[in-house]
Amino acid sequence: MGQCQSVCTSKTAPGSPREKDDRGLEPSSSGAGGGKNPASVLNLGKEAEMYFAKGGKVWYQKCPTTPADAADETAVEEEKLNIKSSDGVVLRAILARPATPSSPNASLDGVAVVMCHPHPFIGGGMHNPLMVNVSRRLAAAGTTTLRFDFRGVGASTGKRTWMRQGEQDDVLACARYLTRLQGVDPTRVYVAGYSFGASVALGALDQERSDHVAGFVGISYPFGVKAMLIPGGGKCRSEKPKLFLVASGDVMCKDGEKGAEAEIATLPKPTETVRVDTGHGWSGRHAAVARIILEWLESVRGGGGGGGKGSNEGSSSEGSTPGGSRNNSAKSLKLRAGGSGNLRSESKRSQPQRFGRAR
């Protein structure tokens, strides 16, 4: 693929291709879960088949949430955009910024994040509740966020590509658009993804033309055999800062938490890992996800395009001791809720919660 060109063509572009479906779903996926279980088609295993069975092909569009997950949409200003990717593909996107003129958090001034959605064959798109709520919470805190539909999804033009090279181009095109946006620090543009989106985003980070991307956030990255959802993804070689949010009960991660930790340990540093007691849908945890990402974005301040000055290496978890036997390749924050186990809001934190280091 040639180098992506990223251009805002219009706010709504009436009459643009695929305008009739702006819900983040592929046209073939708009039925209410009819046909064969998509998890079976994708060969995700029996546990995943049971997990996705009720939602079928629109699971990610209607995945379970709680009232506490909802972000305050009045705290942000959103704008519909069309962004040009490679091969003339036009991506439908939504830009979000704080509704107040001044940033609520000065340390996040200039920070921007591209949000990459989960697998479209299971209903993934930029309107996925986790994508929407996290994007709005990040924006309300002072960042600029851009969530979009990959090529061939929702109102975006084009078709999916073999080896997902085109989709990686989409991520880089969105990131490049943000670097040219007034108020954005071009050295503080990050890519974040959920499941399938995390795999595509990490692949994009590894591209030679990703010099304008400062780092990566992966939510429910499909470690192990599930990563085969992204053919040719390969092993990441980038030394830019990387944050992984791992759900303890994630059906999309082979060998669960241990499998994720083992694979993260093989990645170039700096890396950080957050483990949360929840499932693949992150129900009741949307505010926590946003808070963790914000804390990490502040911790890597000054690292710019890949210099992880704020990303100290090390690993520990609740109950472990410094210098213990755990792998020391990643800094780990373990978030566990007390009592009922629910995280109710961004401002009310579960205890204990801390960063730990092992050397």
In this predicted structure, what is the pLDDT of residue 12? Answer: 38
- What per-residue confidence (pLDDT) applies to 355? 33
Sequence length of the chain is 359
Q: Which amino acid is at 179?
A: T
| Domains identified in the chain and CATH numbers | 31-311 (3.40.50.1820)
Q: Rounded distance, CA 186 to CA 114, Å?
A: 13
**pTM for the whole structure:** 0.78
Q: Which residues are bridge partners to 245 per DSSP?
A: 219, 274
Residue 231's pLDDT is 54
Specify the residue for token string 């629109």.
58
Positions in the chain whose pLDDT score sits under 50? 1-34, 232, 302-359
The reported pLDDT for the residue numbered 215 is 97
Mapped onto helix, strand or coil, the DSSP state of residue 181 is coil
Cα dihedral 230, 233, 235, 237 sign:
negative
Within 10 angstroms of residue 285's Cβ, the number of other Cβ atoms is 28
pLDDT at 105: 77
Give the span between the Cα atoms of 198 and 200, in whole angstroms: 5
pLDDT (0 to 100) of residue 283: 96
